[in-house]
């Protein structure tokens, strides 16, 4: 199998700088995890406990390369989506179609050349529409035209997530299927594909701080072409950039896994800032697949295995995954849930789930 570099579009952008501090993410091989490689599996569990973020090398796996190819197609579709007239996107605004899914924007104080405020934007498309669990919500014509690309992407990402979940169960010493049965693709859940676009904008510490968050759900598969993602290192609290690697996804754990495991696993704080120079003059697009527990699953510590050895303590509020998403997305739950015991209080509570 050849190098995947030329099959991705990273080379069309200015390079990620070589002289800035980057996050020490380990790189795990999907093909080794698929083959049940013990050392790779253990390295995955360590990464899930210690940092909650890692690279997943997709090249060398047929499934992984399907994710890379799909992501490249969706990257182009997302760019076209954001080039279309604003009125089109507004038709699918969250206020018009759903509590959570659909289009959202945040207007910045900076203006474009026409005097119009610049925007950071997201478009959330739910997995249940693609796999046939729900009557599809109204969606942008580009989504309709590319329904098959999106559907394949959903299935491929879910396959990757199911593999990762199986490794987690094993290391947590839970009966086989414990986590998988809370994430059945045939059941309604908050899983979604997101197109992100950030305007070209100067770095602002205040704006960066507003965007600090953990992901609400289970596992997130992130495809990046430009820098700008930063994670907060657990030990030093220093913010460091995550360098995009062609042919690899950035994968991170979300709050649901912290709740299920009473803090054994880590959902690390991160944020998006403008890409570092020389990438700072380019519109930034990223593609995210968010997985979440089934809507009806109550987020609370599971019983069994290593979890039973965790201290009993402040596990936070108990609610269904659906209620959790709603409360988090409107900013009702203060702080972020990162790890053992884990509520880290935070002043800048982001309200949008953005």
The angle that helices 38-50 and 147-171 make with each other, rounded to 10 degrees, is 90
Interatomic CA distance for residues 217 and 292, integer angstroms: 4
Question: What pairing do the DSSP bridges indicate for beta strands 27-29 and 53-57?
Answer: parallel
Residue 216 CB, nearest approach to ligand AKG (Å): 9
Q: Computed over its alpha carbons, how large is the radius of gyration of the chain?
A: 19
Q: Does 196 bind ligand AKG (CB under 6 A)?
A: yes
Structure tokens at 252: 């991170």
Which ranges of 51-125 would DSSP assign to H, the alpha helix? 62-83, 86-90, 94-97
Which lies closer to ligand AKG via its Cβ, residue 140 or residue 270?
A: 270
- HSE, side-chain direction, 13 A CA sphere, residue 288: 25
Least Cβ distance, residue 288 to ligand AKG (angstroms)? 5
Q: Name which position in 25, 164, 257, 272 contacts ligand AKG (CB under 6 A).
A: 272
Query: Contact at 8 Å (CB) between 45 and 174?
Result: no
Binding to ligand AKG (CB under 6 A): which residues in 225-264?
A: 229
* The binder of ligand AKG chosen from 288, 297, 299, 336 (CB under 6 A): 288
Strand-pair partners of 44: none
Q: What distance in Å separates the CA atoms of residue 218 and residue 227, rounded to the nearest whole number?
A: 23
Q: Phi and psi for 329 in degrees, rounded to 5?
A: -75, -20
Site string for ligand AKG, 121-140 (x = CB under 6 A): --------------------
286 binds ligand AKG (CB under 6 A): yes
Q: Which stretch binds ligand AKG (CB under 6 A): 10-18, 100-108, 221-229, 330-338?
A: 221-229
* Partner interacting with residue 280 (select from Fe ion, ligand AKG, none; CB below 5-8 Å by kind): none
Binding to ligand AKG by residue 338, rule CB under 6 A? no
94 binds ligand AKG (CB under 6 A): no
Interacting partner of 222 out of Fe ion, ligand AKG, none (Cβ under 5 to 8 A depending on kind): ligand AKG
C-alpha to C-alpha distance for 302 and 315, rounded to whole angstroms = 11
Minimal distance, residue 228 CB to Fe ion, in Å: 12
Instruction: Rank residues 65 and 215 by Cβ distance to Fe ion and give the closer one.
Output: 215
Q: How far apart are CA 287 and CA 75, in angstroms?
A: 7
Shortest distance (Å) from residue 175 CB to ligand AKG: 31
CB nearer Fe ion, residue 89 or residue 270? 270
Site residues for ligand AKG per CB under 6 A = 194, 196, 215, 222, 224, 229, 270, 272, 286, 288
């Amino acid at each position: 199998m050849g190098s995947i570099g030329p099959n991705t579009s990273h080379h069309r952008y200015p390079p990620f700088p070589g002289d800035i501090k980057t996050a020490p993410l380990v790189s795990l091989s999907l093909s080794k995890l698929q083959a049940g490689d013990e050392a790779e599996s253990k390295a995955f569990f360590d990464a899930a406990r210690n940092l909650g973020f890692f690279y997943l090398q997709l090249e060398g796996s047929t499934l992984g390369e399907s994710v890379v190819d799909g992501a490249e197609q969706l990257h182009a579709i997302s760019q076209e989506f954001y080039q279309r007239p604003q009125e089109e996107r507004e038709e699918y605004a969250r206020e018009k179609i759903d509590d959570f899914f659909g289009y959202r924007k945040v207007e910045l104080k900076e203006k474009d050349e026409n005097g119009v405020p610049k925007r950071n934007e997201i478009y959330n498309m739910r997995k249940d529409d693609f796999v046939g669990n729900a009557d599809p919500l109204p969606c942008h014509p580009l989504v309709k035209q590319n329904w098959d690309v999106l559907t394949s992407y959903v299935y491929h990402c879910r396959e990757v997530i199911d593999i990762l979940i199986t490794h987690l169960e094993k290391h947590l010493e839970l009966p086989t299927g414990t986590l998988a049965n809370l994430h059945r693709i045939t059941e309604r859940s908050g899983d979604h594909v997101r197109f992100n676009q950030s305007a070209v904008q100067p770095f602002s510490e205040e704006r960066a701080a507003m965007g600090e968050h953990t992901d609400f759900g289970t596992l997130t598969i992130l495809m990046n072409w430009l820098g700008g993602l930063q994670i907060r290192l657990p030990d030093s609290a220093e913010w460091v950039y995550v360098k995009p690697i062609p042919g690899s996804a950035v994968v991170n754990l979300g709050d649901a896994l912290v709740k299920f495991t009473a803090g054994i696993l880590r959902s690390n704080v991160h944020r998006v800032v403008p890409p570092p120079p020389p990438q700072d003059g380019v519109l930034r697009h990223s593609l995210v697949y968010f997985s979440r527990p089934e809507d009806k699953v109550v987020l609370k510590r599971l019983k069994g295995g290593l979890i039973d050895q965790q201290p009993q303590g402040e596990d936070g509020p108990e609610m269904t995954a659906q209620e959790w998403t709603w409360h988090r997305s409107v900013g009702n739950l203060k702080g972020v849930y990162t790890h053992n015991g884990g509520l880290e209080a935070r002043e800048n509570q982001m309200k949008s789930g953005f």
